[in-house]
Amino acid sequence: MEYRLKINAEIVPVQADEGPENNLKIAMTGQQFDVDWQVIGDNMIHLLVNGRSVNAYLTEEDGGKNITINGLTCRVEDADLLEQNRSRKTRPGDVPSEVTPPMPAVVVRVMVEAGDLVEKGQGVVVVTAMKMETTLNAPFSGKVTGVNAAAGDKVMPGEILVDIAGAATGEVNSE
Amino acid sequence: MFDKILVANRGEIAVRIMRTCQEMGIATVAVYSEADKKALHVLTADEAVYLGDAEPAGSYLNMDKIIRAALDSNAGAIHPGYGFLAENAAFAEKCEQAGLIFIGPPAKVIRELGDKTMARRIMVKGGVPVIPGMTRAEADPAAMAEEAEKIGYPVLIKASSGGGGKGMRVVNGPEEMEPGCIAASSEAAAAFGNGAVYLEKYLERPRHIEFQILADAHGHVIHLLERECSIQRRHQKIIEETPSPVMTPELREEMGKAAVAAASASGYVNAGTVEFLLDREKNFYFLEVNTRLQVEHPITEMITGIDLVRRQIEIAAGGVLDLSQQDISGRGHAIECRIYAEDPENNFFPSPGRIAFLKEPAGPGIRNDCGVYEGAQVPVEYDPILSKLVCFAENRDAAIQRMVRALAGYVISGVKTSVPFLMDLFQSKAFMSGETFTDFIEEYFADWHPADPPADLAGIAFIVDEMYSKTRVKKTMHPTGNTASPWETLGNWRG
């Protein structure tokens, strides 16, 4: 069987062939893996990979799997499935260049007004979550075209708190 | 002795306190908010009283509701844990007025030591060395800047009623004074309901060393050795150990005496912690007294064998502390690290959510004071601490090795945690050689990036899971299966 996996950010083609009972021959990243596997529970798989013992802990999230091995976690998705899903959505790919809280938070202060010129990295909004204050910075230099939040507002990830028009491109970072 | 104690807290510390109560045959009452209906402390207690809103002001910080809950449930005493109302003198006073025992020092002592400037005056009087700085709070940044010129930059802005690192800012020059004051004061006001701030000389590369004290109501005071808590992020301790890698018997005796003097000078009763900064020349300065059970108390319990919560309860009940200083000796080495729901790859921003999978570390010398369970929700409203992982071994090197092993076996899915960061930290040369100063993180881990995860192995695990899940029987087909968390089933019969 052929798979295309997205492991963290990289697309990795994988060839997997079933061997004898509970055995797989896997070819990926130019290497051959002889894998004996045992499913221990809903979230745990034990592997013998080329004879080496590995405990993998898996949870499913947003259509992919978070896989923890030796204390480190990888995000693994089926790349083909991912592309199918993405083509159905109209929204373009992830744009990290937005002034938005990384988690549900409360606005403490807004430090800019519409019309202000901001430098990339300049603090524009301070939010607090779980008793920690965090400053959200301008993702690029430009002009503030809109302020969509005020002190005391509860805000969610994805909400654009400040619209900034980029100086170079003239693009408006808003939806 | 009390028949019943109300624990006015949540999370791992509430659970930890209840465990000792249970061992002492004392019934426990939990209080909980809207966000905590299924929280572990509620499931652990003998009784539980709903307080109200998830917002702390409507629940864990609401003194009247908590006192009413204690009276209605016939609890004789309230244990405040740490945080929330633990260092709130008004709350201790209200308990006294309501005929309830507050398990902690008297209200007057909390008030005086909680006012950091007043505490400094008490320590000066008691002959305890203090850091040069102001002895009064100041609201005007211009006046602060004037003081800073006298003390000499860099200076540290601190919250008068602070603790736990909230409301602190380092100021390197006059231009940073005003923004620093505003930020520190607003953080202090949000965290403690009091925005008053003052200045201290900022010591470069000190170590943070604190002494655990126990004092009974009959004037008997002892210390239970030191804890080094130098490794901090944003002035929040993240790793604590005892003994300190730089401690000598002579220095321990000298600092221990100062800690006992500090407790005596303030009329201290119950368990408390006297914090010091130790400079490169091994001069030590009084920092503050934490008038509560500390987050990091378990490491002291590990090396001394003394249950601090049990002692707190006995002292609060009027008991005599039947330990003398000579009875106290440390054995081995203990390290604690705090496991927060936070994203180490995203500036350690809190990462609330549902714990999708949890496997706690186990084995010799490992203690995990955990406040969550698989399936539990980590609410956004409170401190994101999930557990405190404590390792005990015969010496520091073995304790570090044990900690690395424990962390590698600690699986928490569904929320991001600091585990990968901590694994790298404990394996760093700087930590292993005891180069632990309060700027440790900035010095050695400012540009930290997670180690490359085992991508190939994860890919293989993914494929095995995909092939297996095709034949996986739907959970709904066998309701008696062992997949439901016991806490969820417990939740049902509790109603």
Q: Based on the domain organization, do B9 and B87 belong to the same domain? A: yes
Count of A-B CB contacts under 8 Å: 154
B432 falls within a domain: yes
Closest residue in chain B to residue A28, using alpha carbons only:
B456
Q: Based on the domain organization, do B194 and B216 belong to the same domain? A: no
Does the complex come out with an ipTM higher than 0.85? no
Closest residue in chain A to residue B353, using alpha carbons only:
A103
B257 falls within a domain: yes
Q: Based on the domain organization, do B191 and B262 belong to the same domain? A: no
Pick from B120, B137, B108, B121: which is nearest to B291 by CA? B108
What is the value of pTM for the model shown?
Answer: 0.80
Has B234 been annotated as catalytic? no
CA–CA separation, A46 and A54 (whole Å): 6
Q: Based on the domain organization, do B225 and B142 belong to the same domain? A: no
- Integer-rounded Cα Rg, in Å, for chain B is 23
Q: Based on the domain organization, do B153 and B28 belong to the same domain? A: no
B121 falls within a domain: no
Residue B21 CB-density burial (10 A; 0-12 exposed, 13-18 middle, 19+ buried): buried
Q: Taking CB atoms and an 8 Å cutoff, what residues of chain A touch B409? A: 71
CA–CA separation, B162 and A131 (whole Å): 13
Express each pLDDT in B158-191 by its tens digit: 988 876 677 888 999 999 999 999 989 888 888 8
Q: Taking CB atoms and an 8 Å cutoff, what residues of chain A touch B467? A: 16, 18, 24
* Total number of domains in chain B: 4
Domain with B74, as residue range(s), is 4-103
**For residue B254, how many other CB atoms are within 10 A of its CB?**
13
Q: Taking CB atoms and an 8 Å cutoff, what residues of chain A touch B186? A: 108-109, 133
CA–CA separation, B94 and B102 (whole Å): 9
Q: Which of B169, B207, B252, B292 does the annotation list as catalytic?
A: B292
pLDDT in tens, chain B (495 residues): 999 999 999 999 999 999 999 999 999 999 999 999 999 999 999 999 999 999 999 999 999 999 999 999 999 999 999 999 999 999 999 999 999 999 999 999 999 999 888 999 999 999 999 998 887 888 888 889 999 998 889 999 998 887 667 788 899 999 999 999 998 988 888 888 888 899 988 888 899 999 999 999 999 999 999 999 999 988 889 999 999 999 999 999 999 999 999 999 999 999 999 999 999 889 999 999 999 999 999 999 999 999 999 999 999 999 999 999 999 999 999 999 999 999 998 889 999 999 999 999 999 999 999 999 999 999 999 999 999 999 999 999 999 999 999 999 999 999 999 999 999 999 999 999 999 999 999 999 999 988 888 999 999 999 999 887 655 544 433 434 444 444 444 434 433
As given in the structure block, the two tokens for residue B279 are 């400079």
Q: Based on the domain organization, do B214 and B156 belong to the same domain? A: no
B58 falls within a domain: yes
Nearest to A131 among B191, B458, B462 (CB): B191
